[in-house]
């Protein structure tokens, strides 16, 4: 597997310009080749107008446009103590559903789909109150699934997630070795 890349509209515009430069110095096209080249340029132009070509890797948010990542609105970038990256791209406050992408710093290249839930209750007086969260990642062709569950707390420095995880894997040397467990601490970026 190789990591995928996203292309922004400006990158596509540059690609179109380069293609037109090459075409200007190439022998004239005829028949079907001209129709195919025209169709490709039209499609590239439509993607450039649309703003981006969607790919597995999430697009970076515009500087200054992103809201502060908080437990009550977890959309944004999070990193754990190992350098793995979680990007929550959507949050439905009515249902608590979250979606996003996860990239591990531990061996599996690229981004993988992430789904989960955020939940909370009214704060209890005199208690340590936190937002609860659970999410999972399906590791594609690798065949494993990891599920995290934990709590989120807001501080003046940002939001923090303390989680426990279980990774189940399809292939192992022993019957008892298919499930691994650990802990991660994520910090909002």
Binding residues for biotin, by number, are 102, 112, 148, 165, 176
The annotation places the binding site at 102, 112, 148, 165, 176
d(CA 63, CA 146): 31
Q: Is 78 exposed, middle or buried (0-12, 13-18, 19+ CB in 10 A)?
A: buried
d(CA 65, CA 113): 24
Q: How many CA atoms lie within 13 A of 174 on its CB side?
A: 4
Helix, coil or strand: residue 47: helix
The contacts of residue 160 (CB under 8 Å, 6+ apart) are 152, 153, 185, 186, 187, 188
Q: Which residues sit opposite 85 in a β-bridge? A: 79, 103
Location of structure tokens 């406050």: 93
**DSSP result, 63-79:** TTTSPPPBTTB--EEEE
Which helix (H) or strand (E) element contains residue 33? helix 31-50
């Amino acid at each position: 597997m190789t990591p995928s890349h996203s292309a922004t509209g400006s990158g596509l515009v540059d690609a179109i310009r380069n293609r037109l430069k090459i075409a200007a110095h190439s022998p004239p096209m005829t028949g079907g080749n001209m129709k195919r080249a025209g169709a490709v340029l039209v499609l590239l132009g439509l993607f450039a107008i649309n703003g981006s070509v969607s790919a597995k890797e999430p697009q970076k948010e515009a500087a200054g446009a992103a809201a502060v990542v908080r437990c009550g609105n977890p959309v944004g970038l999070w990193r754990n103590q190992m350098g793995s990256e979680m990007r929550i791209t959507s949050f439905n406050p009515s249902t608590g559903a979250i979606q996003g992408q996860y990239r591990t710093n531990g061996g599996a290249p690229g981004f993988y789909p992430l789904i989960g839930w955020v939940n909370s209750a009214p704060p209890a007086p005199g208690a340590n109150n936190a937002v609860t969260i659970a999410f999972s990642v399906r590791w594609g062709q690798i065949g494993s699934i990891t599920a995290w569950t934990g709590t989120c707390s807001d501080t003046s420095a940002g939001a923090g997630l303390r989680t426990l995880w279980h990774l189940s894997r399809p292939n192992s040397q022993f019957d008892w070795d298919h499930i691994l467990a650990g802990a991660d601490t994520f910090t909002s970026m």
